[in-house]
Chains A and B, each alone.
Chain A
Amino acid sequence: MSTTDIATLRGVATDRQVEAAEQPAPPTPAEAPSWSNMRAPDARSQQSAAVSVTNGRRALKVFLSNPNALFGTGFLAFVILIALIAPVIYPGDPLSMVGRPFLWPGQNPAFPLGTDSLGRDVLAGIVHGARISLFVGLVATALSLTFGVVLGAVAGYFGGRIDDLLVRLIEIFQTPPSFVLLVVLVAIARPSATTVTLAIAIISWPTVARLTRAEFRAIREKDFVVAARSLGYGHRRIIFSEILPNALPPIIVTSSVMVATAILMESALSFMGLGDPNVVSWGSMIGTGRELVRTAWYLTALPGLAIVVTVLALNLIGDGLNDALNPRFSQEG
């Protein structure tokens, strides 16, 4: 299932790599290949901070010259626009009955995508569903980014006890299958848009923390940081103005995929009946349509397509960002 926390795994990979480099116990010879050119989504963040001083303008140029990334950005902008104007184009409650049930797409021009078993407008549902998907995706990502970056930065920068503690905590949160943990959390807290968002943030922050920690550990030893320290700069200033900007590229790449993952998670939860019961979402539409999949399969297919294209757009953006922010990759091919 696609709601798997890819980002989590990616974080694990980064950290494992760092651990492998740190652990003195089994000495890994220096010439072990570092797999630095990994281009898989999972491996994206394996890039180290070595190339982190990225030229923003150059990165933007690379991003803008990538047709896939542009398509992704364009489509995402379209979805955001739809979500914003949904109350204007479909002012009524998308959960209310508006027409004859089981109208197939194209059967009645008033309902271009047809109606469901209760005569609800499918298009109105999809348009309103964009709101909850994007809301959960963006807010959950923002929350986990905030927590993850702060905790990861503190642990990576100061090291020692705090670091050990955080690494344990991350390990504990990342070992249980994230979707199972998510189901447990939502089931305990009772599903609503807020709890779903919070729960997704809870299972995603360790990824960010892990990644940020690895970046901070790498950058903290760099000359310019040592220089800043010798100038007597405070910790806060070193963390936020010296290290963080250089640690950002992999975090930015990860965050676009995290939004995609969060949207997939939300839809899977809603599909299983663990979404907010008062709001229409793509997942819940599929969940309802599922019973009728033999006769009216369009009820399942259409909201699913909305998910696929939105998530695809985000992944295209993620790939584009990755190419743009990592100079080594853009040379390839």
Chain B
Amino acid sequence: MPALVRIGRTLRRTLLQAVPTMLGIVILNFFLLQLAPGDAADVMAGEAGSATVETMAALRSRFGLDNPLLTQLGHYLSNLMQLSLGFSPRYGMPVADLIAQRLPGTLTLMVVALMVAILIGVVLGSLMATFAGRLPDRVLSVFSLLFYSIPSFWIGLMLIVFFSVKLGWLPSGGAGTIGSRLTGLPALLDKARYMVLPATSLALFYVAIYARLTRASMLEVKNQDFVRTAYAKGLTPFGVTARHILRNALIPITTMAGMHIGGMLGGAVVVETVYSWPGLGRLAFEAVMGRDFTVLLGILLLSSLLVIVANAAVDLVHAWLDPRIGAR
């Protein structure tokens, strides 16, 4: 199974590269946490109402906050090893649990948006490449550049105005009808209705990116000799595009798709605040407003990890698509 060998090798290499990066990010995270105004003791004192200097000092020594920096870093690392990201007094629960609670919402939103963006982007890009230089290409190019320039939070609000306020077709926020007792397919449809607008807002920018990428990539592949060979075999234009051009063109597109995972996470933060979508982004926003830096930095750390995992996944897809990778 040469494809499996290829994928296995790629996986090993990717993981080896990811370890030092992750460590660096953890340390960066630790120092940012140190820089944050106020420590856990301050927060707790704040929650409690008032505290004397003595109780503050006691709290600090109990949490090890008066130890030297390196010792604290050691603590931080060993906590992380046990998957502990700290405790959020504001929510009264461990940050890790808090994030685990919100993560599925964000992931669903991201995956849906990414799928939509890739699907529409690849179709539009193929169209643009087919009509390169002609009217459809020009019109679509202008649109893609426009999508590329629209802030997602703004288009999100505009979609709400149009589809929720004026037309009343779709809900303007939330992730499902509150108090509904739907199950099975109706429940899924209900969720989908809430998903449409946020996913569209998030996807629009990436539709533009993938469309332009696909166009460029297909034009590049189209001029390669093997495409002429395919025509010489008697394949239909559709057959040539589907079987020969697209697969080769997809190779750079997957690379790019992986690189946008991080961007999409960032995008989700803003889109979730627009639509009150219960995800990490919304949590980050609440953490900023509540100045809850433990939560905020936990999110930063986890989203970095997510990016690394996504990149590894893309490398694997890449290895599967391109037999030349890791050959011999």
Contacts and interface: CB of A to CB of B under 8 A. Distances in A.
A42 B209 contact: yes
11 contacts: A1-B153, A9-B263, A13-B259, A29-B327, A38-B252, A39-B215, A40-B216, A40-B256, A180-B284, A184-B296, A293-B160
Interface of A: 1-6, 8-9, 12-13, 16, 25-29, 32-33, 35-43, 168-169, 171-172, 174-185, 187-188, 190, 260, 264, 267-268, 271-274, 283, 286, 290, 293-294, 297, 300-301, 304, 307-309, 311-312, 314-316, 319, 332-333
B259 A9 contact: yes
Given A38-B217, A40-B213, A183-B284, A3 B260 contact: no
A30 to B, nearest CB: 10
Ranked 7 nearest A-B pairs via Cβ:
A179-B266, A4-B263, A1-B267, A1-B152, A304-B154, A40-B212, A333-B133
Given A43-B252, A188-B32, A273-B289, A37 B154 contact: no
Contacts of A307: 151, 154
B270 interface: yes
A193 B299 CA distance: 25
B205 A308 contact: no
Contacts of A301: 158, 161
Nearest to A169: B24
A333 B215 CA distance: 13
| Residue among A176, A181, A319 with most chain B CB within 10 A | A176
Given A42-B256, A179-B267, A319-B145, A6 B209 contact: yes
Contact of A300 (B133, B154, B266): B154
Interface stretch (B92-100, B187-195, B302-310): B302-310
A284 to B, nearest CB: 12
B151 A33 contact: no
A177 B165 contact: no
A133 to B, nearest CB: 11
B297 interface: yes
A311 B149 contact: yes
B224 A33 contact: yes
Interface string B232-268: 0000000000000000100010011001101111111
Nearest to B137: A333
Contact of A180 (B215, B252, B269): B269
A17 B24 CA distance: 23
Best-buried of B132, B153, B224 by chain A (most CB within 10 Å)? B153
Nearest to B164: A294
A4 B273 contact: no
Nearest to A301: B158
Dominant secondary structure at the B interface: helix
A28 B325 contact: yes
Interface string B269-312: 11101100000000011001101010011011001100110000
Nearest to B266: A179
A267 B288 CA distance: 17
Contacts of A16: 255
Contact of A171 (B21, B252, B288, B325): B21
B151, B256, B324 pick with most chain A CB within 10 angstroms: B151
A41 B270 contact: no
Give chain A's interface secondary structure class. Answer: helix
A42 B213 contact: yes
Contacts of B217: 35, 38, 40
A6 B291 CA distance: 28
A297 B32 contact: no
B21 A175 contact: yes
A183 B217 CA distance: 34
A308 B153 CA distance: 12
Contacts of A3: 151-152, 266-267, 270
Contacts of B56: none
Contact of A286 (B157, B260, B299): B157
Interface string B312-324: 0000000000101
Interface in B11-42: 13, 20-21, 24-25, 28, 32, 35-37
A174 B258 CA distance: 13
A1 B304 contact: no
A274 B284 contact: no
Given A286-B157, A300-B157, 17 more contacts: A1-B267, A1-B271, A28-B327, A38-B252, A40-B213, A40-B216, A43-B252, A168-B21, A175-B25, A177-B262, A179-B269, A179-B270, A180-B284, A290-B274, A297-B158, A300-B161, A311-B149
B264 A4 contact: yes
B220 interface: yes
A1 B165 contact: no
A281 to B, nearest CB: 12
A8 B285 CA distance: 23
Contacts of B21: 168, 171-172, 175
A180 B299 contact: yes
Given A6-B209, A37-B219, A1 B268 contact: yes
B9 interface: yes
Q: Which of A177, A283, A314 has the most CB of B within 10 A?
A: A177
A6 B145 CA distance: 13
B307 A177 contact: yes
Nearest to A304: B154
B252 A315 contact: no
Contacts of B133: 333
Nearest to B134: A333
Contacts of B145: 312, 315-316, 319
A159 to B, nearest CB: 19
Contacts of B196: none
Nearest to A287: B153
B76 interface: no
A35 B256 CA distance: 13
Contacts of A333: 132-133
A17 to B, nearest CB: 9
